[in-house]
Structure 1
């Protein structure tokens, strides 16, 4: 079934088209949810809520840009709303890991698996994890993140900086990377995975 046929079917509330849309996009969108969620059950809840929104809002898709990108934006916003609703974003932030990690120019070896990085990102406090995901992986600006999370732009910047340092420290301690490493250019390798 083509993407246009899926969209047309979903506009008619055709169950087969909805099932095809879900089967085609849910694995990738679950990985997006998983990066934001504290556990698999929450990720699955985020995914379900997100796809309900996709199905109820599909009439707003205007064929401007990629359909997958449109779905992804809905899923990301659903994840943020889920965290806010369940007060998970407002949990206190532990900055004890954010000690000074010195960074030098290098890249992570190509054998680094995206799954390992995701698991390490999930170890970050929810606020740090959310800002890191939105900025480094989803491409939102700190201004947009501030508006989405009801925080100051400067808070987004500082949480991102602390998240990078904390994540790098976790990666070093788990021996996924060798100390010290440079920036997060290596993160672009799994951007939008």
Structure 2
């Protein structure tokens, strides 16, 4: 299916909204892999990610009648999956945002030496980097994913998670610090976790 053909997408969306299983299967198969990757970044393990993705597709098919066909269907699907993942993480009992000394992070720049590691990190397999992110606390992982991967601003993160901008910056800074520590251990251990 050509998802850049607006007419074809509109027909597919209408059929999905009417409950046509074949059309829903086309949407499901087209976006399953990419959206599973999104869910893995927000969850504790692959089984949890699959459950999260399943719940997301239920919401997608329920809300598909609201798709306006102005942007890409993939972008619209991704937004629902990300929002569902964030809601899932927030609802988990172990999700606790770090509030200590958040004022020290109010005025820090968004780019604090983390980008210098990017070139070296590009040499590492994506699975390894994902495993680094998976080891972060739910709060750090959520803010990191929202800011770095999904391109939310600190203001948007703060509004969505009902925290201050300082807390968002604090959690991002601490996530980057933890990732840098894991990266250094990996690099110094010549590709092995200790």
Q: TM-score, normalised by structure 2?
A: 0.80
Residues 67 and 158 of structure 1: is their aligned pair in 2 closer, same or farther, counting only changes over 3 Å? Answer: same
Check conservation: 2:97, 2:171, Cα contact below 8 A: no
Rounded to whole Å, the distance in 1 between the matches of 2:113 and 2:14 is 53
CA RMSD between the two structures: 2.5
User: Aligned residue for 1:164?
Assistant: 176
| Residue in structure 2 matching 1:141, options 129, 144, 153 | 153
Alpha-carbon distance in structure 1 between the residues aligned to 2:114 and 2:160 = 30
Say whether the 8 Å CA contact 2:154–2:168 is kept in structure 1.
yes
* Runs of 5+ unmatched residues, structure 1: 94-100, 179-193
Q: Which runs of 4+ in 1 moved over 6 A?
A: 101-104
The unaligned stretches of length 5 or more in structure 2 are: 4-8, 100-111
d(CA) in 2 for partners of 1:139 and 1:122?
19
Distance 1:168 1:71 in 2: 31
Cα shift at 1:6: 2.6
Normalized against structure 1, the TM-score is what? 0.80
Instruction: Indicate how the Cα distance of structure 1 residues 8 and 162 shifts in structure 2: closer, same or farther if over 3 A, else same.
Output: same
Residue 88 (structure 2) aligns with: 82
